[in-house]
Every structure is written in structure tokens, then in C-alpha cells.
């Protein structure tokens, strides 16, 4: 990244965005437009929910990539990190014309320099934690910009919250160490486990990335981490070594201090808990003990910003935080309720790592009582499926019935032929009886129309496109989208 491109990210007036429909990219487009830039972009022809967001903002985009999309009048081109600037036709054209290029992580990193920034990271939990933090800060009326990895209902079904520029809270991603472009004064680490194994060699490799991220904190920086997660604790130990200037704030049931979670009680439709350092009780209406931890992290992150802004967190402020969390209704594709039809509750969830899947399924059982849970799962990436196959199989046993499909391929890897969706089916079949396999997602539709019954909870899980099945079933049972 050149000095020229760095300054252009802050002052550019004409910006083209390659891959603009991506959640992070469309959020960044909204932020850049709010800063006064004229923004347009390009992407694949597939439909994404972000198209409606871009349309409401009157940000134009074209479907399909072409060198002709680069007019030559751009001050800057920002591109999704999914694309290779050495081979993508638009990026090659822009470089040839001398137009500065920035990847999404680089552009976000430059914006983080312009505010007091909090980066929220973790193998799982970071999207919901970011959205919860933003929901609290909105209720407190603080001048903050928030960028989450999914649309949040409390953000008006967008992934961006624009309330001012003094503070920035952003979801930051560990893949390819992208979060090292971010410049935080506070880092939140929700979890560290083996993942993205097409890039990271092993657990130690991904742990080293989180340690490097935390150690990028400036003198006097703050690290907030989950004391209930072994990986987050190990990252905190590595970050704190030789950094006595940092403030370490643990949260969770095993934490010491203000954000220790206490008195958890789960009932149908609600989870209640307390935080040791706060005077008011808390409740959540999104399922799972993992969301209690996310809420504690959000309270810690938002509380720090509140104290920076006002110097103190009063009991009245604590009541605002409690009400905001009680009103939180989740994010897109995180235990998202599609609707109820034919007595069946239809949900969709992005969970694609065994730990997140197990935690979500356990939480649904506690939250929804006696409903039979039927999960349709589509594994994402061959490398993750191969290396975590036994863990995937084990996590799926927490459902009452399981439907599986072929592996959803990633553009960043090729099928080696060493693992298939049927391998996962066989692994699950060794652990339970009620498991079914359909190579193509929509081939399961007729079977599920006959299999599902009133009182069931049907949930699609994964980072693939099986969410389409959930919506098709909801419509088939009489639901209105």
C-alpha cells in the first residue's frame, strides 16, 4: 500500500468498488458515501440482499466484471480481498492507469486511524458481538460508526450504523491475517480455534495471528477477551507478555472482575443473567449461552467507550445497556427466524465451524423446549471439512434429525477429491440413525415437505447456499415472505 493510496482513502471523491455487494464492501461504501465520496461499483450477477441497501443509498453498480468498468476518472479503487489484483481484469486495468488500489482490509484500516477504534475478532461470535455493541452504543447516544459482518435488525437491517465519527467499532477478520491492517485502541477476542485451514497451517499458526493483532495495540490499549475460551486465554497470555501497559479485561463465567457472568437461567424465549460489576439484571431474547458471553463482551466494549466519552458509567447507563440487550433481535443468518408456518418454526444460521454449531444447537434446545430440531447442514470448504470431520459429526448429534449435502466449494481452493459430503454423512451415520443425504440442496425439498411436522424447528446451517431450502420450505408450508 503506497502513501498515495493511503491518503486517497481519506480524501478520494470518486471511488470504484470491486465486489461491492459483499457485506463488508457495501457497508464500507455507505461509510465512504457519508464522508462525501461519490461511490459506484461492480460485482457478480448473483442477487444479494445488499442490493436493496445499495439501491436505497442510490449507489450505482453493474453486474459483471469488465475492464470497461474502469472509466479512468476514479481517485481510488477499493476491492474485496476475495479478488487478486494481479489477475482481476478491473484491478489490472486500474493499476495500468495508475489509479491507487486498496483492499477492503486496507481501506478499513485507514479509516480506523481516523477514530478511536475497537476491533472485534474471533473465530466465532464476532458478528453478533459487534452488532450487540452497536445496539448498546446507539441506545447510549454516542458518536460512533459501527461495521458488522451481517445485517442487524437494530441497524435497520443494515450492517452499518452511522451515528458519528469519534469512535469506530468494526468486525475484523483473521483470515489471511487481514485484521493486522486495522489500528485499534481496543481489541475484543471472542474465541480462537483451528479454522481457515486452507491458509493457517494449524492452531498455533492461527493463535500467532491473534497474538500479533493484540500486540498491535498502542501503549495504554485495552484487550477484552473471553475467559471461558481456552484459545482466547492463550492469546491474551501471549499478548500480555512484556506489555504491562495494556489493560486486560476478561469476561465470561470463569472471568474475574466486572464482567464475570453470574446467575444464568434459561427459559422458553428468554435467558437471564447478571454481570458482577453491574447493579442491574440482564436478559436476552436470542437463544444460547454463547450469546450471553457475546452480550458480556459487548457490555465491556461499549462500557469502555462510554467511559472515554463521559468519564463514568452510571446506574442509569447500566439500565440503558440492559434494555438495549433485552431488545436485541439478532443479525441476518445468526439464528435468524425466517418465520413460522404450518406450526413449524423456520430458522437460518451461518454457523459453519463445529464449535459454533454445537453451541447453537444446544442453545436452541434450551430456548425452544420440546420442539424437535431438524438441521440441514452444508459444509463449507474441503480443507475445513477434511480436518474437522469428526468434530462436525459430533456437533450434529445435538439435533434430532440431520440432512446433509455436497460440500459447498470455495473460490479459494480446488476439490482435491480427498473428502466429500458423503464422508460427513457416513461419519454422522456412525453416531446416529436419523440422518439423510441429498447431493443437491433443493433435492431435499420433497422429502422435507413430508418429514417436517407441526412443533418442529427446522434450521439451515452453514456458509453455503442451503438457506434457499429454508425459504422454499417456509413458502411451501404457507409462509409469506
Q: What is the DSSP string of 203-257?
A: HHHHHHHHHHHHHTSPTT-EEEEETT-HHHHHHHHHHHTT-TTSEEEEEBTT--S
pLDDT of residue 292: 94
Tell me, yes or no, whether 157 and 240 share the same domain. yes
Please check whether residue 51 lies inside any domain of the structure: yes
Q: What is the dihedral of CA 453, 454, 455, 457, to 10 degrees?
A: 60
Q: What is the CATH number of the domain that holds 205?
A: 3.40.1190.10
Please check whether residue 481 lies inside any domain of the structure: no
Tell me, yes or no, whether 42 and 141 share the same domain. no
Nearest CA among 142, 147, 155, 192 for reference residue 353: 192
Contacts of 223 (CB under 8 A, 6+ apart): 186, 187, 189, 214, 217, 236, 239, 240, 246, 247, 248, 249
Residue pair 350/151 in contact by the 8 Å Cβ criterion: no
Please check whether residue 395 lies inside any domain of the structure: yes
Please check whether residue 109 lies inside any domain of the structure: no
Task: Count the domains in the chain.
Answer: 3
What is the Cβ-side half-sphere exposure of residue 230, based on CA atoms within 13 angstroms? 5
**Alpha-helical segments (H) within 86-202:** 89-96, 104-112, 126-140
Nearest CA among 400, 365, 396, 397 for reference residue 378: 396
Residues in the chain, how many?
A: 481
Q: Would you state the cell numbers that stand for residue 163, as one nine-digit string?
A: 451515528
Please check whether residue 169 lies inside any domain of the structure: yes
Tell me, yes or no, whether 290 and 341 share the same domain. no
Q: Would you state the cell numbers that stand for residue 296, as one nine-digit string?
A: 458480556
Please check whether residue 110 lies inside any domain of the structure: no
Tell me, yes or no, whether 228 and 261 share the same domain. yes
Nearest CA among 453, 459, 457 for reference residue 477: 453
Contacts of 242 (CB under 8 A, 6+ apart): none
Q: What is the CATH number of the domain that holds 90?
A: 3.40.50.720
Please check whether residue 219 lies inside any domain of the structure: yes
Residue pair 257/281 in contact by the 8 Å Cβ criterion: no
Residue pair 387/380 in contact by the 8 Å Cβ criterion: no
Contacts of 174 (CB under 8 A, 6+ apart): 121, 123, 195, 196, 206, 209, 210, 213
Strand pairing report for 435-437 and 261-267 = unpaired
Which of 84, 104, 124 is the last residue before a domain boundary?
A: 104
Residue pair 128/142 in contact by the 8 Å Cβ criterion: no
Tell me, yes or no, whether 342 and 443 share the same domain. yes
The pLDDT tens digits along the chain (481 residues) read: 333 344 445 678 999 999 999 889 999 999 999 999 999 999 998 888 889 899 999 999 999 999 999 999 999 999 999 899 999 999 999 999 999 999 999 999 999 999 999 999 998 889 999 999 999 999 999 999 999 988 888 888 888 999 999 999 999 998 889 999 999 999 999 999 877 667 778 899 999 999 999 999 999 999 999 999 999 999 999 999 999 999 999 999 999 999 999 999 877 678 899 999 999 999 998 877 789 999 999 999 999 999 999 999 999 999 999 999 999 987 666 678 888 899 999 989 877 778 888 888 888 887 787 889 999 999 888 888 888 888 889 889 889 999 999 988 766 656 666 888 899 999 989 998 899 999 999 999 999 999 999 999 999 988 888 989 999 999 999 887 6
Tell me, yes or no, whether 125 and 260 share the same domain. yes
Tell me, yes or no, whether 74 and 219 share the same domain. no
Which of 73, 104, 135 is the last residue before a domain boundary?
A: 104
Residue pair 155/31 in contact by the 8 Å Cβ criterion: no
Separation between Cα atoms, residue 292 and residue 297, nearest integer Å: 9
Tell me, yes or no, whether 471 and 323 share the same domain. no
Please check whether residue 371 lies inside any domain of the structure: yes
Q: First CA to last CA across the chain, in angstroms?
A: 44
pLDDT of residue 316: 96
The range of the structural domain enclosing residue 245 comes to 115-327
Tell me, yes or no, whether 454 and 398 share the same domain. yes
Separation between Cα atoms, residue 15 and residue 38, nearest integer Å: 6
pLDDT of residue 411: 60
Q: What is the CATH number of the domain that holds 416?
A: 3.90.190.20
Does residue 284 come out as left (phi exceeding 0), alpha (psi in the -120 to 50 range) or beta? beta
Tell me, yes or no, whether 308 and 346 share the same domain. no
**Containing H/E element for 424?**
helix 421-429
Q: How many CB atoms lie under 10 A from the CB of residue 141?
A: 11
Which of 60, 75, 104 is the last residue before a domain boundary?
A: 104
Nearest CA among 241, 258, 261, 262 for reference residue 249: 258
Q: What is the DSSP letter of 399?
A: S
Q: What is the DSSP string of 298-340?
A: HHHHHHHHHHHHHS---HHHHHHHHHHHHH---BTTSSEEEEE
Nearest CA among 253, 263, 226, 221 for reference residue 240: 221
Q: Would you state the cell numbers that stand for residue 109, as one nine-digit string?
A: 484500516
Q: Is 373 helix (H, G, I), strand (E, B) or coil?
A: strand
Separation between Cα atoms, residue 234 and residue 256, nearest integer Å: 16
Q: Is 127 helix (H, G, I), strand (E, B) or coil?
A: helix
Tell me, yes or no, whether 316 and 340 share the same domain. no
Tell me, yes or no, whether 359 and 448 share the same domain. yes
Amino acid at each position: 500500500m503506497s502513501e498515495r493510496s493511503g491518503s486517497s482513502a481519506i480524501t478520494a471523491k470518486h471511488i470504484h468498488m470491486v465486489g461491492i455487494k459483499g457485506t463488508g464492501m457495501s457497508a464500507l461504501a455507505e461509510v465512504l458515501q457519508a464522508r462525501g465520496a461519490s461511490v459506484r461499483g461492480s460485482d457478480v450477477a448473483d442477487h444479494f440482499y445488499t442490493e436493496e441497501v445499495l439501491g436505497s443509498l442510490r449507489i450505482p453498480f453493474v453486474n459483471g466484471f469488465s475492464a470497461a468498468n474502469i472509466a479512468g476518472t476514479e481517485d481510488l479503487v477499493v476491492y474485496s480481498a476475495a479478488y487478486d489484483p494481479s489477475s482481476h481484469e478491473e484491478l489490472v486495468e486500474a493499476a495500468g492507469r495508475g489509479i491507487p488500489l486498496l483492499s477492503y482490509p486496507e481501506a478499513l484500516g485507514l479509516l480506523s486511524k481516523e477514530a478511536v477504534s475497537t476491533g472485534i475478532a474471533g473465530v466465532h461470535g464476532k458478528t453478533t458481538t459487534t452488532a450487540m455493541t452497536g445496539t448498546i452504543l446507539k441506545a447510549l447516544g454516542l458518536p460512533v460508526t459501527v461495521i458488522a459482518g451481517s445485517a442487524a435488525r437494530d441497524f435497520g437491517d443494515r450492517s452499518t450504523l452511522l451515528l458519528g465519527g469519534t469512535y469506530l467499532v468494526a468486525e475484523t477478520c483473521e483470515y489471511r491475517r487481514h485484521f493486522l491492517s486495522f489500528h485499534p485502541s481496543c481489541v475484543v477476542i471472542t474465541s480462537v480455534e483451528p479454522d481457515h485451514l486452507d491458509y493457517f497451517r494449524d492452531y498455533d499458526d492461527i493463535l500467532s495471528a491473534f497474538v500479533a493483532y493484540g500486540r498491535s495495540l498502542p501503549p495504554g490499549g485495552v484487550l477484552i477477551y473471553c475467559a471461558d475460551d481456552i484459545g482466547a486465554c492463550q492469546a491474551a497470555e501471549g499478548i500480555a507478555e512484556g506489555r504491562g501497559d495494556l489493560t486486560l479485561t476478561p469476561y465470561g463465567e470463569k472471568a474475574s472482575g466486572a464482567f464475570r457472568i453470574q446467575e444464568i437461567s434459561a427459559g422458553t424465549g428468554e435467558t437471564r443473567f447478571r454481570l458482577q460489576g453491574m447493579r442491574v439484571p440482564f436478559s436476552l431474547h436470542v437463544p444460547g449461552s454463547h450469546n450471553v458471553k457475546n452480550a458480556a463482551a459487548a457490555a465491556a466494549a461499549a462500557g469502555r467507550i462510554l467511559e472515554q466519552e463521559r468519564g463514568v458509567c452510571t446506574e442509569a447507563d447500566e439500565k440503558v445497556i440492559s434494555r438495549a440487550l433485552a431488545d436485541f433481535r439478532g443479525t441476518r443468518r445468526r439464528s435468524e427466524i425466517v418465520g413460522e408456518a404450518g406450526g413449524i418454526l423456520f430458522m437460518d444460521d451461518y454457523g459453519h465451524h463445529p464449535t459454533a454449531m454445537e453451541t447453537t444447537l444446544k442453545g436452541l434446545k434450551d430456548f425452544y423446549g420440546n420442539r424437535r430440531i431438524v438441521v440441514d447442514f452444508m459444509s463449507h470448504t474441503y480443507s475445513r471439512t477434511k480436518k474437522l470431520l469428526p468434530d462436525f459429526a459430533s456437533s450434529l448429534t445435538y439435533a434430532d434429525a440431520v440432512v446433509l449435502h455436497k460440500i459447498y466449494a470455495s473460490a479459494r481452493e480446488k476439490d482435491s477429491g480427498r473428502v466429500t459430503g458423503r464422508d460427513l454423512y457416513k461419519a454422522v451415520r456412525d453416531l446416529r440413525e436419523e440422518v439423510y443425504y441429498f447431493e443437491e440442496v433443493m433435492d431435499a425439498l420433497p422429502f422435507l415437505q413430508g418429514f417436517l411436522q407441526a412443533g418442529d424447528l427446522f434450521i439451515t446451517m452453514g456458509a453455503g447456499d442451503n438457506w434457499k431450502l429454508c425459504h422454499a420450505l417456509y413458502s411451501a408450508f404457507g409462509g409469506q415472505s
